[in-house]
Chain A
Amino acid sequence: MPRSVLLVDDEPNIAFSLEYLMKRDGYEVRVAGDGEAALDSIRAQKPDLILLDVMMPKRDGYDVCQTVRADPRYADVKIIVLTAKGGALDGEKALALGADAFFSKPFGLEELSCRVKELLAESPGDDG
């Protein structure tokens, strides 16, 4: 069974590229356009990894990250935070709230692809 990736970004242009990339790498991809939708989607079906943009309407990426981490059922879900903020502290905050990695936009797709692969290799997945 392919590993599943939840892509959370309200910008369709980057979502389009990332969805394409993740599918190319052989993952099952779901897309959510805001924080609420992302949490609903996670509750409906637990993904192996979340690509999470920070700046979103309703609940932002930090909020989603913290909410997911607060639930022990999702302890093994990997989270990569994507941020367009350029501040030195944004990454620090993401990691403090439980993210496994963070990327500042603009980032290279191949670099992201590698990191996703590495993180998923750390967790064996439900089907072992």
Chain B
Amino acid sequence: MAERWSLRLRIFLFFALVGLGGLALFAGALVLAGARIGPEATPHLVLAGGIGGLGLLVLTAWVWQLFDENVARPIMLLSGELSATAEAKSTAARLSTDKARYLGALGPAAAGIAEALGRERSTAEGAVKAAIDEVLAEKAQLEAVLRDLRECVLICNLEHEILLYNAEAQRLLGLDAQIGLGRPLFRLVTEQPVRHALDRVKLRFADGRHRTHHDYLSVAVVCATRDGRLTLQGRLSLILDAAGDAVDGFVLTLRDATQPIADHAARDHLLKEMLEGLRRPTANLRAAAEILSGGMAPDAKTQARFVGVMTEEAETLARRIDRLAGAYNELRIGGWSMNDVTAIALVACARDRLADLPELELAHAGADCWLNCDSFSVVEMLALFCREIAGATGVGRIEIAATPDGGHVFVDLVWQGVPLGESAFEPWLNRPLVEGLAGLTARDVLLHHRTEIWSERVGPDHARLRLPLQPAVEDHVSAPASELPARPEFYDFSLLRRRAAGKMAETPLTELACVVFDTETTGLFPSAGDEIVQIAGVRVLNGRVIRGERFDRLIDPGRRIPAASTRIHGITDAMVADQPDARAVLPAFHDFAADAVLVAHNAPFDLKFLQLKEGLIGRRFDNPVLDTVLLSAHLFGHGAEHTLDALAERFGIGFPEGQRHTAFADALVTAEVLCMLIPVLNARGVRTLGDALAVSDEAVAIRRKQARY
């Protein structure tokens, strides 16, 4: 019991004991004195005892007061400050020690401890900050690498939901915005091959065979896009948890193998056709020749027939060879090393290879141009030619120009002087280019690129070495830039440990996958024939707007747009004239919103338009629906204003310049409003989708009642 009393109380009780005990002793002593002296002394003793007792009490109280002021309270204060310092995360721990000046060395000692603690903390904090900075830098590098990797990378959890994808994945698989964080992988690629690969490698892990397996936890996989457009080839690797004893998910790296596989098939086909196509006429030719030359001695008429056969078959052979040669030249030049590159890049690399010849000036001339080649070996070859040209002719400057002409891009090395003789550069072609390339010669490089090289005069006093190469495979000039934002939200590893898909109603709002959308229409009366002219949506996942995952389409409403509506959303008849109609766009939107909660500001209006089209597109919009108007009404009361503008202003969200009343901007602002509402809802006990739907129902009921008055 006494242990729980405060220090000051205990000291007070101590002094009280001293005071009262002293008083009792004093009284006892006086009673003893009174008994010895006799009753006549009683008044004097009472007087002296009263004064002495009072003095004792006053003295005790005074000393207690001093003690309380200078010892007990400072100790309490100090201990309070010490425990506050221990609790606080602050590094600036300074104790007010002036009140503790009568506590001897205790005050300075405590201050010393607090200061040491502060120093320790700031060191630790600095280290933590440095570590975080380092992690962030590494993360940024990883993001950059993933973003720019020419291989499609997907990371999935064991529920096959996508946790990460890169720009190439979006380019390759992202048709109709099907790709997205938290979305099922198998809506993008065929299920069986990937599942099979996953099962194989999981089994390998479970058996512990991966420790000795040369592929460790990875396995080759060939699959296709769900629409059958592309054949994909790559690898699947398991991701283990930190301890390395459970599977968390997997990485899928894929490449578009459609073209290489088609090339391979074409090559095989050509080879087969060559063998079979040449065998028959050759057999016929050989038989006829043997009869004519052997001892069979046919008569003149038969001889003439065999000569006819030979002529015919020889012509067949010649035609077939021409056709095969044509087909061979049509085949793409294969090999992993072929890549698109600019002429300027080739020249720059060749210049680097010639750094040991400072007296030779190598310049790019003319316009830049893309071409397709094995840039490594071509650079080596160009460098070799420059070196040899300079050696053979003594020129100090060579210009390299690339000119598209016909089916080729001609790479020309131009110098002042006369052309090189064939016999002059023949030896260059047969010398190994660089070490470590298996003795590869310039001749091999020419052969691989199915090209020739020659030297000719150009203009009155210049000569050039011509190297025809293939034009670029991809369109680099008009190809659209990637639509990914500069810093895409293309991964979310919190999904790695998302609990197995439970009932959607129990999903916390903070973990919800939503599609926040908005429509622009021809008017306000869907049931009276008004139509959608624009629909846009953006995904919200785990309380975060995923700006890169958007849907934004114009729709031809199949009717005129009233001028009054055009004034609001700015969409004219001309703008939608050649756009697809609702039958084409809404199924794509349905796909985009699959498995997500649909959210809109004043959802019944937009939803009505969608529901009226369900028959037309043969799909139902049966997603759970949240309405930011109703959520706001629940939080801020039914008297407040709940327009999108009012909500945006309340949360400090700005519309993009001039974009209010475009479907995408409105959807984006609604999405941001939703993300602001979720924590407020949480604080008010509305935590799950089910809770949010329940309060929405209440809000509907209240608003309905209000509408009656």
Q: Given known contacts A60-B422, A63-B421, A86-B328, is B317 in contact with A93 (CB within 8 Å)?
A: no
Does B304 count as interface, using CB distance less than 8 angstroms?
Answer: no
**Beta-carbon contact of A63 and B422 below 8 Å:** yes
- For chain A, residues 12 to 64, give those with C-beta under 8 angstroms from any C-beta of chain B: 59-60, 62-63
Question: Which residues in A have their C-beta under 8 angstroms from that of B314?
Answer: 106
- Interface size in chain A (residues, C-beta < 8 A): 20
Binary contact track A89-114/B, C-beta < 8 Å → 1, others 0: 11011001100000010111000000
**Beta-carbon contact of A89 and B452 below 8 Å:** yes
Binary contact track B312-328/A, C-beta < 8 Å → 1, others 0: 00100110011001001
Does A87 count as interface, using CB distance less than 8 angstroms?
Answer: yes
**A60 to B422, alpha carbons, bound, how many Å?**
9
Does B407 count as interface, using CB distance less than 8 angstroms?
Answer: yes
A89 to chain B, nearest CB (A): 5
Question: Which residues in B have their C-beta under 8 angstroms from that of A87?
Answer: 329, 450-452
Does A67 count as interface, using CB distance less than 8 angstroms?
Answer: yes
**A3 to B482, alpha carbons, bound, how many Å?**
67
Question: Which residues in A have their C-beta under 8 angstroms from that of B407?
Answer: 88
**Beta-carbon contact of B328 and A89 below 8 Å:** no
- Interface size in chain B (residues, C-beta < 8 A): 22
**Beta-carbon contact of B454 and A96 below 8 Å:** yes
Question: Which residues in B have their C-beta under 8 angstroms from that of A70?
Answer: 421
B691 to chain A, nearest CB (A): 71
**Beta-carbon contact of A97 and B456 below 8 Å:** yes
Does A123 count as interface, using CB distance less than 8 angstroms?
Answer: no
A24 to chain B, nearest CB (A): 17
**A108 to B316, alpha carbons, bound, how many Å?**
12
Q: Given known contacts A89-B408, A89-B451, A96-B454, is B321 in contact with A106 (CB within 8 Å)?
A: yes
Binary contact track B593-615/A, C-beta < 8 Å → 1, others 0: 00000000000000000000000
Binary contact track A56-83/B, C-beta < 8 Å → 1, others 0: 0001101100110010000000000000
Q: Given known contacts A92-B468, A97-B456, is B450 in contact with A66 (CB within 8 Å)?
A: no
**A89 to B405, alpha carbons, bound, how many Å?**
12
**Beta-carbon contact of B452 and A90 below 8 Å:** yes
**A106 to B426, alpha carbons, bound, how many Å?**
27
**Beta-carbon contact of A97 and B454 below 8 Å:** yes
Q: Given known contacts A104-B325, A106-B317, A106-B321, is B468 in contact with A89 (CB within 8 Å)?
A: yes
The 8 A-B residue pairs with the shortest CB-CB distance, nearest first, are A86-B325, A63-B422, A106-B318, A93-B452, A89-B452, A93-B454, A62-B422, A88-B329
Can you report 12 A-B residue pairs in the complex whose CB atoms are below 8 A from each other? A59-B423, A62-B422, A63-B423, A66-B421, A67-B421, A86-B321, A86-B325, A86-B328, A86-B329, A88-B407, A97-B454, A106-B321
Q: B: which residues have CB within 8 A of A?
A: 314, 317-318, 321-322, 325, 328-329, 407-408, 419, 421-423, 426, 450-452, 454, 456, 466, 468
